[in-house]
């Protein structure tokens, strides 16, 4: 079956034709590891996961690389501001290497908890410095780079076309850039590819231009080329990467080996919170751990992401995520209801359902449509093992770990109202403070409200009377 995918470069959805038969090569821009990733970032990696899984479902071998940016991403995505890693190091009183190690570990835990299928290669920018330096030198040799007192800059006026991905006009960028014109730049939209280190920049390497470090954009150009070569199938990232990071990656690749490396550029839309931007000043940035604290499983967030196509904005609200948590448990129950089902479903019907699902995922990853098909099967009145097998197959793409539904449901506190959970917490506190009278009173109050409470070695067990 054909796979159709949208391409930011052509603004069209068209048939995917692999460079190598039955194999797909993908480069994904990974996180900058200077703090905890938020659930918006995680939407980008859930998209990446779905893309890999869809290809695997279609029988493809995946050759997939994701970087971890541990140096050189400045506070402005372009070429001004402080290195995010060094800023975080100052904030936390650590060195940037420890910051990177800590947040890489946190990121890996998050993607595991979301059951994200990991790229074959996950590589740190600082492990690929020689390749980056080599590329910068090539760019300079080819006449696309020049030195200033701050670093090596890319001369965008040397390109046949810039920008190529976004609709940004160079004149608009020039107007914007006028606010802070760097007189050493040949053109306002030129950007740093290699940055000379101020003495206090901890991460720095030897180069023909003294101690220095790579710019964020050159990192991805060099890692893509090193692990996937100069021509690969797909490059992915979030939509914020289109106007600067990816535009500049393409420019660098042209300046170094002469062409855009990826046949297809794919971008995920943003997760919004309560209809607006997630931002520190609004205090509405949530992590996977924040959700867990509120009793929301990471996999419920994954299911929540399937309520919108990856090219549409997705609006996060607590009502929405709570509903997704309940829906996930309903889905698990529906899945389990088919476990010992004796009903015989015709091969024709099963094939048709599978085809509909396959068409949905192959149509630019239409996960909302695919999820709808799975829901219909989970809810079907006719209980059948064949349906369970079909859902197992579909879950190869959803990655919701439905085969372990029983395990998750045994931890499910969904049916216990918040009021009872709060009373149970109060009772525990009372016990801790050795106020056994109060603890017993609360137990009785809970009983009056229709729930039994039992202390077990694994904690408190609450059941409906």
Stretch of residues binding ligand AMP (CB under 6 A), selected from 26-34, 92-100, 205-213, 404-412: 26-34
Pick from ligand AMP, Zn ion, none: which does 40 bind, CB < 5 to 8 A by kind?
Answer: ligand AMP
Classify strands 314-316 and 271-273 as parallel, antiparallel or unpaired.
parallel
Nearest to 384 by CA among 356, 353, 350, 355: 350
Contact status, residue 194 vs residue 125, Cβ threshold 8 Å = no
CB closer to ligand AMP, 278 vs 328? 278
Closer CB to Zn ion, 31 or 145, in the complex: 31
Nearer to Zn ion, 29 or 228 (CB): 29
268 near ligand AMP, judged by CB under 6 A: yes
Given a contact cutoff of 8 angstroms between Cβ atoms, the answer to whether 251 and 162 are in contact is yes
- For ligand AMP, the binding residue among 3, 24, 26, 44 (CB under 6 A) is 44
Please identify, using beta-carbon distances, which residue of 44 and 133 lies nearer to ligand AMP.
44
**Residue with CB nearest ligand AMP?**
238
Binding mask 285-324 for ligand AMP (x = CB under 6 A): ----------------------------------------
CB contact set of 70 (below 8 Å; sequence gap of 6+): 32, 33, 85, 96, 100, 104, 124, 125, 126, 203
Q: Quickly count: other Cβ atoms within 10 Å of residue 427's Cβ.
A: 22
Residue from 7, 25, 27, 40 binding ligand AMP (CB under 6 A): 40
146 beta partners: 153
Residues 6 or more apart whose Cβ sits within 8 Å of residue 273: 282, 284, 285, 286, 315, 316, 317
Nearer to ligand AMP, 277 or 385 (CB): 277
Q: How far is the CB of 185 from ligand AMP (least distance, A)?
A: 24
Q: Is residue 31 involved in binding ligand AMP (CB under 6 A)?
A: yes
What tokens were used for 375?
């829901």
Query: Quick one: 22 or 317, whose CB is closer to ligand AMP?
Result: 317
Taking the C-alpha atoms of residue 190 and residue 182, their distance in angstroms, rounded to an integer, is 10
Residue 271 found at the interface with ligand AMP (CB under 6 A): yes
Q: Which of 24, 29, 37, 299 binds Zn ion (CB under 5 A)?
A: 29
Chain centroid offset of residue 423 CA: 37
Residue 254 is a binding residue for ligand AMP (CB under 6 A): no
Q: Where are the alpha helices (DSSP H) in 4-60?
A: 39-57
* Count of residues touching ligand AMP (by CB under 6 A): 15
CA–CA gap between residue 179 and residue 173 (Å, rounded) = 11
Of these partners, ligand AMP, Zn ion, none, which one is at the site of residue 220 (CB under 5 to 8 Å by kind)? Zn ion
- 36 vs 144, which CB is nearer to ligand AMP? 36
Binders of ligand AMP in range 164-193 (CB under 6 A): none
**Structure letter (DSSP) for residue 457:** T
SS (H, E, C) 365-385: CCHHHHHHHHHHHHHCCCCEH
What residues from 214 to 253 belong to the interface with ligand AMP (CB under 6 A)?
237-238, 240-241
Residue 380 CA to residue 386 CA, distance in Å, equals: 12
Work out which of 100, 133, 152, 220 binds Zn ion, going by CB under 5 A: 220
CB of 459 to ligand AMP, least distance (A): 35
Q: Under the criterion CB under 6 A, does residue 32 sit at the interface with ligand AMP?
A: yes
φ/ψ bin of 413: left (φ > 0), alpha (ψ from -120 to 50), beta (otherwise): alpha
User: Which C-beta is closer to Zn ion: that of 76 or that of 95?
Assistant: 76
Structure tokens at 286: 């949530």
CB atoms closer than 10 angstroms to residue 122 = 17
**Choices 24-32, 88-96, 325-333, 441-449; region in contact with Zn ion by CB under 5 A:** 24-32
What is the contact surface with ligand AMP in residues (CB under 6 A)? 29, 31-32, 40-41, 43-44, 237-238, 240-241, 268, 270-271, 278
What is the contact surface with Zn ion in residues (CB under 5 A)? 29, 220
């Amino acid at each position: 079956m054909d796979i159709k995918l949208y391409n930011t470069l052509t603004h069209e959805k068209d048939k995917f034709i692999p460079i190598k038969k039955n194999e797909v090569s993908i480069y994904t821009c990974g996180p900058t590891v200077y703090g905890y990733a938020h659930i918006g970032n995680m939407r980008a990696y859930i998209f990446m996961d779905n893309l890999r899984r869809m290809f695997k479902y279609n029988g493809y071998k995946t050759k997939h690389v994701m970087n971890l940016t541990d140096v050189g991403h400045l506070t402005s995505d372009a070429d001004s501001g402080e290195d995010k890693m060094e800023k975080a190091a100052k904030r936390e009183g650590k060195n940037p290497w420890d910051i990177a190690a800590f947040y890489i570990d946190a990121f890996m835990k998050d993607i595991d908890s979301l059951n994200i299928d990991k790229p074959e290669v996950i590589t740190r920018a600082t492990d690929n410095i020689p390749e980056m330096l080599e590329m910068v030198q090539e760019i300079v040799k080819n006449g696309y780079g020049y030195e200033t007192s701050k670093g090596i800059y890319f001369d965008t006026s040397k390109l046949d076309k810039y920008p190529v991905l976004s609709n940004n006009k160079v004149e608009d960028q020039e107007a914007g850039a006028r606010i802070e014109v760097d007189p050493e730049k040949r053109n306002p939209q030129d950007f740093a590819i290699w940055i000379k280190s101020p003495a206090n920049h901890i991460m720095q390497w030897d180069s023909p231009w003294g101690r220095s470090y790579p710019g964020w954009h050159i990192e991805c150009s060099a890692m893509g080329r090193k692990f996937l070569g100069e021509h690969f199938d797909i490059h992915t990232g979030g939509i914020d990467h289109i106007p600067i990071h990816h535009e500049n990656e393409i420019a660098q690749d042209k300046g170094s080996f002469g062409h855009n490396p990826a046949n297809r550029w794919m971008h995920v839309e943003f997760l919004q919170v309560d209809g607006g931007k997630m931002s520190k000043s609004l205090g509405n940035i949530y992590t996977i751990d924040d959700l867990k604290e509120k009793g929301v499983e990471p996999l419920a967030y994954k299911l929540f992401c399937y309520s919108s196509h990856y090219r549409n904005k997705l609006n996060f609200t607590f009502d929405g995520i709570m509903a997704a948590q309940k829906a996930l448990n309903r889905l698990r129950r529906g899945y389990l209801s088919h476990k010992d089902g004796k009903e015989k479903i015709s091969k024709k019907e099963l094939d048709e359902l599978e085809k509909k699902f396959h068409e949905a995922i192959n149509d630019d990853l239409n996960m909302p449509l695919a999820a709808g098909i799975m829901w219909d099967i989970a809810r079907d009145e006719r209980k059948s093992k064949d349906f369970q097998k079909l859902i197992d197959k579909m879950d190869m793409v959803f990655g919701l770990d439905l085969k372990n539904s029983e395990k998750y449901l045994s931890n499910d506190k969904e049916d216990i109202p918040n009021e009872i959970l709060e009373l149970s917490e109060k009772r525990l506190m009372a016990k801790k403070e050795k106020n056994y009278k109060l603890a017993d009173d609360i137990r009785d109050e809970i009983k009056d409200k229709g729930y039994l409470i039992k202390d077990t070695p694994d904690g408190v067990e609450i059941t409906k009377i």
